[in-house]
Amino acid sequence: MSITKRSNGKRQMKSTSIWWSINKSTPEQWFDRWGHFLGQLFQELNFVVESSTLLKKPRGKEWNKCLHFRNNKVGNFLVVLKRPRRCDYGGDIEITNLDGEGVLMIRTTTVNQGHLSMCRATVGDSIITFIRDSWKANESSNQESTG
Domain ranges of the chain: 20-137
pTM: 0.85
CA distance readout (Å), 35 to 1, 22, 28, 67, 85:
17, 14, 11, 8, 16
Q: What is the mean pLDDT of residues 12-30?
A: 75
Gap between the Cα atoms of 105 and 112, Å rounded: 20
SS3 state of residue 147: coil
Phi (first) and psi of residue 9, to 5 degrees = 80, 5
47 or 140, higher pLDDT: 47
* Dihedral over Cα of 97, 120, 29, 63: its sign: positive
Is it the case that residue 146 has pLDDT exceeding 50?
A: no
Query: Strand pairing partners for 51?
Result: 68
Q: What is the mean pLDDT of residues 2-28?
A: 78
The C-alpha R_g of the chain, in whole angstroms, comes to 16
What is the model's pLDDT at position 98?
A: 93
Is it the case that residue 7 has pLDDT exceeding 50?
A: yes
Gap between the Cα atoms of 102 and 76, Å rounded: 12
Report helix angle 120-146 to 27-44, nearest 10.
50
**55: Cβ contacts below 8 Å, ≥ 6 apart:** 28, 31, 63, 64, 65
Range scoring the smallest mean pLDDT among 10-19, 39-48, 52-61: 10-19
In this prediction, residue 9 has a pLDDT band, given cuts at 50, 70 and 90, of confident
Closest of 122, 121, 123, 18 to residue 81, by C-alpha: 123
